[in-house]
Amino acid sequence: MSLLDATHDPALRSWVTSANTPDTDFPVQNLPFGRFRRKGEGQQDTLRVGVAIGDQVLDLRLAAELCPWSNEVAPLLDPLAAGDLAAFMRLGRPAWRAVRAALSAALTADSEQGPFLESCLVPQADVQMAMPCEIGDYTDFYTSIHHATTVGKMFRPDNPLLPNYTWVPIGYHGRSSSIGVSGQLLRRPMGQVKLIDAAEPVLRASSRLDYELELGALMAHGNELGSRIGMDKAEDHIFGLVLFNDWSARDIQPWEYQPLGPFLSKNFGSTVSPWVVTLDALAPFRQPFVRAEGQPQPLPYLDSAHNREAGAISIELEVWLQTQKMQKAQHPGDRLAGSNYASAAYWTLAQLVAHHTVNGCNLRTGDLLGTGTLSGPEPGQGGSMLELGHGGRQALTLSSGELRSFIEDGDTVILRGHCMAEGARRIGFGECRGTVLPALT
């Protein structure tokens, strides 16, 4: 089945005029899903599912009520009208594609449904976004060989990349309860820290707080315990991608992570972007998955013809930092680094799913798979402050004159992502923002 269809036509224009500007993240070719409530509504008010289009949100509850739909599409909109994105995700790819095609046609210029949908739009400035769905379990992988090598050199100069890395997707089970949506206010974590020359560790607030530039894959539906998901079906279990900041306390991490891995250095908070960009929307930006010369080929259970032909996805990623001083001066912040998902990741999305379940582990709707820090091969493409500042030894000078080795209280970290390709319309992910508050001592 072809990955491309009429919804990807770069010539499509919407009757929502803001969706036609060249730099919008949300043209009619994107149509990401998210959950929201209008600003001013109480937390007890039911969340609604919407689709981002330009600077507006299409309220799918109103759209289902006020707009005529085909007999095929109308029942597929029921879970969306009920505010239950997870239930829609469980319907599977044929349903997703049918709804995407219907929404694309309805939002395209000169659509007969346009007059019905005009009253279903809400300005994005007037909504408060929520988590796209409840996240049950969260696994963080380590897919960037560039990040793994750079960090490995800091801790193991003579052996930076452990021998299993090129054979097995490395991951750990994280804490889903502390994942928040963009705009999250995050407390600086406390934890045990042991300095090199100290005889004993001490409990203190982290002074080496860091971000990690990642993507997160939302699982649409899973597998029975004891079964596995093969490479040929793996992507059918992924609904879409979000930007993901897995905050890390670099001074807590080295003391606690041996021998069982990250714990308090990671579980205090992670931040996701609110709009889920579907795999269908990302189809024009697919690329062949190719291992560099000299690298081993994946074992058979991590290989497929589709993965070799189109397993990689070109997504341009950026990290921005806005300090309190910048915010007071209405400065948008400084761009710290950027990378591309296709060149940063050593393992594809399908490989993560196939490996996660090869032992019979059961994935479930709403599970989140983090890619791990997506650092590129060049010096300015580090996906963390740890890399950009060479382990804290080299402070970055910001345009405001401030220096940063790690993230300070009041700083806001902003992740952005977009896709561009010849013959395709630019689409984006919106923003993933998180602001650091002082620790509670």
Domains of the chain: 6-130 (2.30.30.230), 138-437 (3.90.850.10)
Phi and psi angles of residue 216, each rounded to the nearest 5 degrees, phi first = -120, 135
In sequence order, the 6+-apart residues with CB closer than 8 A to the CB of 7 are 29, 31, 100, 101, 104, 280, 281
Measured over all CA atoms, what is the biggest interatomic distance in the chain, rounded to whole angstroms?
A: 74
pLDDT of amino acid 40: 83
Q: Rounded to an integer, what distance in angstroms lies between the CA atom of residue 182 and that of residue 408?
A: 18
Low-confidence ranges of the chain (pLDDT < 50): none
Residue 157: exposure state from Cβ atoms within 10 A (0-12, 13-18, ≥19): exposed
Helices within 156-262 (DSSP H only): 253-256
Question: Is there a catalytic annotation at residue 147?
Answer: yes
pLDDT digits (tens, 9 = 90+) for 71-85: 999 999 999 999 999
Q: Are strands 412-419 and 427-437 parallel, antiparallel or unpaired?
A: antiparallel
Q: Beta-strand (E) ranges in 23-168?
A: 33-38, 48-53, 56-59, 121-123, 127-130, 138-141
Q: What is the pLDDT of residue 43?
A: 67
> How far apart (Å, rounded) are the C-alpha atoms in residues 431 and 182?
7
What pLDDT is recorded for position 114?
Answer: 97
Question: Is the Cβ–Cβ distance between 106 and 70 less than 8 Å?
Answer: no
> CA 82 to CA 84: how far, in whole Å?
6
**Residue 423: exposed, middle, or buried by beta-carbon count in 10 A (0-12, 13-18, 19+)?**
exposed
Inter-CA distances, 137 with 178, 265, 365, Å: 11, 18, 9
pLDDT value of position 44 = 62
The catalytic position among 8, 147, 237, 418 is: 147
Decide if 53 contacts 19 (C-beta within 8 A).
yes
In three-state secondary structure terms, 113 is coil
Tell me the C-alpha to C-alpha distance, in Å, between residue 438 and each of 209, 275, 324, 376.
Answer: 11, 28, 13, 31
CA-based radius of gyration for the chain? 22
Tokens of 368: 């989140």
pLDDT 10s digits, 271-280 = 999 999 999 9
